[in-house]
Amino acid sequence: MGSSILSIIYLIGSVTFILGLKMLSKPDTARKGNLVAAAGMSLAILGTIFLYRVNDAPLHNYGWIFAGLAIGGVIGVLSAKKVKMTAMPEMVSMFNGMGGACAALISIVEFDHIIKLIKNLYAPVTDDHLVLQLLETTASRGIVVIILLSLIIGAVSCAGSIIAWGKLTGKVKDFSFGGQHFLNLGVLALLIGLSVWLTVIFPTAPATGSIIFYVIFLLALFYGVLFVLPIGGADMPVVISLLNSFTGVAAACGGFLYSNPVMLTGGILVGSAGTILTILMCKAMNRSLKNVLIGSFGGGATGAAAAGKEQGSYKEISLNDAAVVLAYANKVIIVPGYGLAVAQAQHACHELEKQLEDKGVEVKYAIHPVAGRMPGHMNVLLAEADVPYEKLLEMEDANAEFPTTDAVLILGANDVVNPAAKNDPASPIYGMPILEVENAKVVIVNKRSMKPGYAGIENDLFFQPKTSMLFGDAKKVLQDLLGAIKEV
């Protein structure tokens, strides 16, 4: 009876995951979709705790289980509630790493279980039931392969996510050295080799098998670090999305291990949807996944651009002049980018917008699909600052409005307004759709310095006669602008 109810619960859980993902991919239903999936998950978890049977016996250790759930739940809610909107990507990365770690830990326990059974085989066996179980175990190399898959993928995902988190928070610097790709391939080959070896020898040499198993675990962690380390910080969203689908696959391995359909569907769904999402993200940036992973993009392009052509000179604009330009414009379009997110300037930006509106200026925002560190990042940030949704223009609409715009204020965006994407077939970002800000009458660019954006290429826009630069941290500049406009 209990088991039949549990299988129905798992069926419902799987369906809610599918529906949830489906709803999450449409703006109108997204929030409900998240709740649907969460409800299914809660049901599946509760069902497992109370109805799962091992050899017809219910689960025990309830104290431990509920303590774990309570501790994890409190940490999860607190960290999710407290995190700033700008720090979303690294938070997701951290959660993802924990899922990966969870999968790896499960593998460790399950492997230990198998090794113990085999060791008992060599001890005098008295229990017939045990003998049966042992024969079954030694025959199931397939199970060990699944355990290894779950261990390796989970560990890579965990270590990789932590490095990605470190990069986004600035705690880990980009780091690459010559021959790194070879080292990575070498470690990967070693991992596969050891896994095959372990699968062959473990039934006859359980002691050696355990040692190899832990070596594989450490190597997988090491590989996760190596895998993410050379990839540029700006590409982290793509990497996180990829690691996300890894963890999905690791969870699915767990589903295979326990013949648990809800883990299997949930894991594989995330695995495949995550992979597609990763590819979509790359597409939005007009890059290939290979490019991101090998990470040659930034380095190679800088050299080419530097050798390519002589850059002209740029001109700076003072705060007061900028204030006058903005205050006397009829229509201003603000182009937010990563600089705005880093400086957490979304509220100051909204203040500026309100102040300009009070002066009768029409203010809108032009949102490039990949502005910021993650697609949709800017929408989330500006929504947090209560910027009305109607003010946010999608790229096509914004491009239609630039010719009638008096002033464009660019806040820490770079590559998404680089005309090279349209004009220069040799440019690495050629073909990427951009915001055509140069069609406006005046362009004011706020940046911290003349350093190129993450694509690592110079931006001709900054050297055009109608462009002027306003250097400084976005938040500080916006606050100063507020004061200056007040006095105009």
Which 274-303 residues touch another protein, going by CB under 8 A? 274-277, 280-281, 284
Binding test (CB under 8 A) with another protein, winner from 12, 15, 85, 304: 85
Q: Is 86 in the site for another protein (CB under 8 A)?
A: no
- Site residues for another protein, window 27-46 (CB under 8 A)? 27-28, 30-31, 33-35, 37-38, 41, 44-45
Kindly tell me which of 31 and 309 has the beta carbon lying closer to another protein. 31
The set of residues, in sequence order, having a beta carbon less than 8 Å from that of 161 and lying 6+ positions away, is 93, 94, 96, 97, 100, 224, 240, 243
Amino acid letter for position 460: D
Residues 384-403: x where in contact with another protein by CB under 8 A, - otherwise, as a string:
x---xxx-------------
- Mark whether 415 is an active-site residue: yes
CB 322 within 8 A of CB 444: yes
**Least CB distance to another protein at residue 86 (A):** 12
Kindly tell me which of 237 and 337 has the beta carbon lying closer to another protein. 237
Q: What is the DSSP letter of 112?
A: H
The set of residues, in sequence order, having a beta carbon less than 8 Å from that of 436 and lying 6+ positions away, is 399, 402, 419, 422
Q: Is 105 in the site for another protein (CB under 8 A)?
A: yes
Residues 106-125: x where in contact with another protein by CB under 8 A, - otherwise, as a string:
x-xxx-xx------------
From the list 415, 424, 460, 480, the catalytic residue is: 415
Kindly tell me which of 153 and 477 has the beta carbon lying closer to another protein. 153
CA atoms of 337 and 342, how far apart (whole Å): 9
Name the nearest CA neighbour of 392 among 365, 372, 432: 365
Kindly tell me which of 230 and 237 has the beta carbon lying closer to another protein. 237
Q: Is 233 in the site for another protein (CB under 8 A)?
A: no
Q: Is 95 in the site for another protein (CB under 8 A)?
A: yes
CB 33 within 8 A of CB 22: yes
Q: Is 102 in the site for another protein (CB under 8 A)?
A: yes
The set of residues, in sequence order, having a beta carbon less than 8 Å from that of 177 and lying 6+ positions away, is none
Kindly tell me which of 276 and 400 has the beta carbon lying closer to another protein. 276
DSSP reduced 3-state for 192: helix
Q: Is 215 in the site for another protein (CB under 8 A)?
A: no
**Least CB distance to another protein at residue 303 (A):** 30
**Least CB distance to another protein at residue 50 (A):** 10
Name the nearest CA neighbour of 337 among 307, 365, 301: 365
CA atoms of 313 and 318, how far apart (whole Å): 17
Q: What is the H or E stretch that residue 365 is in?
A: strand 362-366
Q: Which of the ranges 80-88, 189-197, 208-216, 294-302 carries the binding residues for another protein, by CB under 8 A?
A: 80-88
Q: Which of the ranges 20-28, 199-207, 226-234, 467-475 carries the binding residues for another protein, by CB under 8 A?
A: 20-28
One DSSP character per residue, 271-338 reads HHHHHHHHHHHHHHTT--HHHHHH-HHHHHHHHHHHHH-------B--HHHHHHHHHT-SEEEEEE-H
Q: Is 408 in the site for another protein (CB under 8 A)?
A: no
Give the residue numbers annotated as catalytic, written as ranges: 415
